[in-house]
Amino acid sequence: MTEQPNHHDKDDATVVAPQPKVLRNKGGYQVATLQKEIASGAFGRIFLGNLTNPLQVLAERIVLGEEEPRWLVDLPSQHEELKDAGLVAKVYASAEKHWQEILALAEKGARGEQKAAEQYEIITNLIDPTLFKDNTIAVKVLHDTPQVKTDKADLNAIMHETRKRFRKESQLLRRFEYPDDHPNIVRRFGYVTDPDLGGCLLLEYIEGETLEHYLDAQEDRRLQPKTAVRLTLQLAEAVKHIHSKEIIHRDLNPKNIVLKKEKDGIIPVIVDFGVSKDKENLQTMEGMTVGTVRYMSPEQARESAKVDERTDVYALTTILFEMITGDLAYPYKTQKEAFEKLLEPEHPTRVSQYIRNISPEFRRVIEAGRAKTHEDRLTLEQFTQELTHIHNDGRYYRAFPHSHRSSTFIKRRLERIDLIGKKLATDKPELETELRYRNFEERIIGIDAFLAGGKWDEAKTELNKFAEEVKPLHEGYDDIRERLKTLEGTAQIGIAYQRVEQSLAKAEISFKDDDYPLVGEALDTIQPIITVLPKEKYKDVYERYARLSTAFEPHKPVVGAYMVVKKAVDEVAHFLTTEQSLSLEQIVKQQEKLAAAQSVLPPNANMIGHKPYEQITARIAELYTALNSTQMKTNSPEQPISSEKKL
């Protein structure tokens, strides 16, 4: 079993040291200060600390074969731990020399301080760019003796295995170091061996609380399905990244997940890799089951060779089960009893026992994700895809679980009540409510059919009518209103997508035809509505829009001038068709407007396109002819403006 550390806020320490402890590396040089203990488990504890000398962290990484030595000392590239005591001492001494030079530079006024800061940024960037702005770290160390009840022989074997795993955890976490980091996986900065504490794993400090504590603080320990699924999908992305590095986690559980505080809410971060393994080396110490019983898969409990990516899917789904039900999937008082039930062919509880109106799709994903048989379980890709569809559509509950009888049956029942009278009158209000829900359900099915068929406008019209009907109803109909909001969102996205697609097609065809005003018109139509489309789902649409916008950019100013000319031409044409009798002054004014517009028009069609250019010049010529003809009819002494004017 691995330890289960609990991360707390900085002010929620279990032990406060009277003075910061200095953490040193093998060379005896200071690396960090430890402020206080913030978590403790059976096998180890975690301190809150501050990184004080990043160069010594890099020196330790060079000694361990984790970092290229060339930037610090004149040594050939090596990928194994340095064994030569002289070379090791040289690495530590060189790091300290450089560090003291930086500290001295910082004392030489503003310019020196700036140069020192630049050097510090370069050094921290070699470890992780986040350290430049914040040097707060979490330091994980092992207890001298595991706090477990067992005999001395077993204790020695367990401690030996624990130290091996701790070192292995550090090596596995290296695979997620910058730039291969992931927002939902804890960052690893380094590993140092302190003369007093032994091996110390330097990690990102995450301000927040464990998922376990967060659930304990909720009413009935439950989260809304939307929140639970969002967290699960983020964790699934992290697990996907873990698997891409050829690692099986094997111990996903609420104690190993910290909810990091961000501006937009909380994000889950996996913080413990104590029993994680390479895919190619999943064997454990004989007779030793690893993981947390209530979240481990049956094949893991049996120490089966079938432990693979689906083992993590089982744990992930079990966490989701707990988040939405508020209860453990194996709610037994002892680990032994939970372990025995785990090996039985069926789960003791189903998600539908807690959520009676859960949608069939949501229920299937949960039960298939934690299938007892490895072969029947969803893969991570299947689990993520199906859960994403449910999340995007908001299909967490059955539309209306109140009635299983048809609306025709209910209507006949009501008619019978009216015929019989008072004897069945007590059933009437209940049946009327049931009929209303059933009608709502049938209308929802109809709207779903519109949406499935791409009939977005019809769906939107029906939704608007539906929303007005349920608006005055009491809070018992809140689930209906929420469902309508989800459908409205789907319809809005569908309408936006349809219009964007039409405009993109128009813009692409117009580009091929060299009709750049039509391209600009289509892009102007797209701009205010494309933002409705989720970027991840409609990535190709955004890319097409970006390509067209970039290609159109050189034409934009000229097309803008063309549109000014077109507007003036349209106004003159409208004037000529609506005015019955024209004075000489009015004619001259229109001639001047046309001349002013013509002066804005570019001398050639290159940036506008031949077709629109020829059309606008032809219209200008026609309007000059019409204005000159009208002017002559007024017997004006003024000379007519020539329609042959050079364009």
Helices 478-512 + 456-470 axis angle, to 10: 160
3-state percent helix, strand, coil for the chain, nearest multiple of 5: 55, 10, 30
Helices 428-452 + 407-420 axis angle, to 10: 160
pLDDT mean across residues, the chain: 84
Q: Which of 35-44, 163-172, 579-588, 592-601 has the lowest mean pLDDT?
A: 579-588
Question: pLDDT tens-digit profile of 194-218?
Answer: 999 999 999 999 999 999 999 999 9
Nearest to 364, CA basis, from 344, 343, 348, 385: 385
Task: Give the residue, 480 or 315, on which the prediction is more confident.
Answer: 315
Cα–Cα distance measured from residue 319 to residue 448, given in angstroms and rounded to the nearest whole number:
31
Confidence of residue 245 (pLDDT cuts 50, 70, 90): very high
Residue 289 has pLDDT above 80, yes or no: no
228 with 324: CB under 8 angstroms? yes
Nearest to 355, CA basis, from 344, 369, 341, 366: 366
Q: Which pLDDT belongs to residue 98?
A: 93
Tokens (6 digits) for 633: 């009819």
486 with 394: CB under 8 angstroms? yes
* Beta-carbon count within 10 A of 299 CB: 19
Task: Give the residue, 186 or 603, on which the prediction is more confident.
Answer: 186
Coil, strand or helix: which one is 406? coil
Nearest to 259, CA basis, from 206, 182, 324: 206
Tokens (6 digits) for 443: 């209308």
Q: Which helix (H) or strand (E) holds 316?
A: helix 309-325
Backbone angles phi, psi at 533, to 5 degrees: -80, 130
Residue 595 has pLDDT above 80, yes or no: yes
Asked if omega into 517 is within 30° of 0 (cis), the reply is no
Cα–Cα distance measured from residue 55 to residue 68, given in angstroms and rounded to the nearest whole number:
13
Q: Which pLDDT belongs to residue 152?
A: 66
- Angle at the Cα of 247 (from 246 to 248), degrees rounded to 5? 130
Confidence of residue 429 (pLDDT cuts 50, 70, 90): low
Distance between first and last Cα of the chain: 86
Q: Which of 12-16, 64-68, 124-128 has the lowest mean pLDDT?
A: 12-16
Q: Which pLDDT belongs to residue 4?
A: 40
Cα–Cα distance measured from residue 484 to residue 468, given in angstroms and rounded to the nearest whole number:
11
Tokens (6 digits) for 283: 């064997």
Q: What is the mean pLDDT of residues 548-573?
A: 89
Residue 427 has pLDDT above 80, yes or no: no
DSSP summary character for residue 48: E
Residue found by looking up tokens 């002289």 in the block: 86
Cα–Cα distance measured from residue 45 to residue 28, given in angstroms and rounded to the nearest whole number:
22
Q: CA torsion, points 209, 215, 219, 223, in degrees to nearest 10?
A: 110
Confidence of residue 544 (pLDDT cuts 50, 70, 90): very high
Cα–Cα distance measured from residue 434 to residue 453, given in angstroms and rounded to the nearest whole number:
29
Nearest to 174, CA basis, from 125, 120, 121, 245: 245
**HEC secondary structure over 364-380:** HHHHHHCCCCHHHCCCH
Q: Which pLDDT belongs to residue 474?
A: 64
Task: Give the residue, 402 or 249, on which the prediction is more confident.
Answer: 249
* Beta-carbon count within 10 A of 1 CB: 20
The top-scoring range by mean pLDDT among 124-138, 340-354, 444-458 is 124-138
Confidence of residue 416 (pLDDT cuts 50, 70, 90): low
Confidence of residue 484 (pLDDT cuts 50, 70, 90): confident
CB crowding 303-316: b at 16 or more within 10 Å, else e: beeebbbbbbbbbb
Q: Using alpha carbons, list the distances in angstroms from residue 27 to 47, 55, 170.
A: 21, 12, 20
Amino acid making up residue 65: G
Question: pLDDT tens-digit profile of 97-142?
Answer: 999 999 999 999 999 999 999 999 999 999 999 999 999 999 999 9
Q: Which of 235-239, 494-498, 624-628 has the lowest mean pLDDT?
A: 624-628
Helices 428-452 + 456-470 axis angle, to 10: 160
* Beta-carbon count within 10 A of 151 CB: 7
325 with 222: CB under 8 angstroms? yes
Residue 13 has pLDDT above 50, yes or no: no
Q: What is the mean pLDDT of residues 597-606?
A: 80
Q: Which pLDDT belongs to residue 647?
A: 31
Q: Which pLDDT belongs to residue 215?
A: 96
Q: Which pLDDT belongs to residue 476?
A: 62
494 with 451: CB under 8 angstroms? yes
Cα–Cα distance measured from residue 116 to residue 435, given in angstroms and rounded to the nearest whole number:
76
Cα–Cα distance measured from residue 588 to residue 610, given in angstroms and rounded to the nearest whole number:
30
